[in-house]
Amino acid sequence: MTETLNKEPVTSKATVPANKKEDTVKKVVIICSKGTLEDVYAALIMANGALADGRDAKLFFTFFGLDAITKSKADHLHTATVGNPAFMPAMPTMIGGLPGFEKFASYMMKKQMDKLDIPNVTEFIEMIDAGGGEIYACKLAADMFKLEEKDFLPEVKGIITVGDMYALADGEGSHFIFI
């Protein structure tokens, strides 16, 4: 038991209801706008987790997130070392900008992921596709970067507009996650 500032006891604790209410999250639309290793994996892990829980999962890659679904870049993503407050907090930020440091940090992260048997990006995307997840590219971003359907991994269902992406979330129980 803890006390408040006025010395009154606080006894409330979070509890789980005995008869769990029906889950209201039926579908997630995950928007991935960044192409760093840590951001792409966050999107892939959440999509995979949603599918494992029996939810629909749709991934919409836009701007630099398109790197994750581009054939030539998908398995060559890097960790953001400059301006990332969570990256090696005991080291000065300028260390992350040294030549070769980003590549080294990415190598170390991938090495740790290999130890944990975490699939590479293309394998993860194949798993999500095989599990019923859907993967889309943003039309505006694809046009900006001059990317066409042939540039994307085969699991990409199409290049769609933002309006089309909103239509993916149509229905009750849909949630957006923006990364």
Q: Which residue has the higher pLDDT, 65 or 5?
A: 65
Q: Which residue has the higher pLDDT, 142 or 117?
A: 142
pTM above 0.85, yes or no: no
Residue ranges of the domains in the chain?
23-75+120-179, 80-118
Q: Is 175 exposed, middle or buried (0-12, 13-18, 19+ CB in 10 A)?
A: middle
User: Given pLDDT bands bounded at 50, 70 and 90, which one contains residue 6?
Assistant: very low
pLDDT of residue 20: 55
Q: Are 121 and 45 in contact (CB under 8 A)?
A: no
Mean per-residue pLDDT for 125-136? 97
> Which CATH number is 23-75+120-179's, of 1.10.10.10, 3.40.50.970, 3.30.1360.30, 3.40.1260.10?
3.40.1260.10
Q: Are 105 and 79 in contact (CB under 8 A)?
A: yes
d(CA 147, CA 159): 10
Give 108's Cβ-side CA count (13 Å radius).
Answer: 11
The pLDDT tens digits for 46-104 are 999 999 999 999 999 999 999 999 999 998 887 765 555 555 555 555 555 556 666 76
Average pLDDT, the chain: 83
For 78-138, where are the E strands, in sequence order? Answer: 134-138
- The closest of 5, 56, 66, 1 to 32, measured between CA atoms, is 66
d(CA 27, CA 118): 24
DSSP-assigned letters across all residues of 15-57: ---SSPPPP---EEEEEE---SHHHHHHHHHHHHHHHHTT-EE
d(CA 81, CA 36): 10
User: Given pLDDT bands bounded at 50, 70 and 90, which one contains residue 25?
Assistant: confident
d(CA 26, CA 56): 6
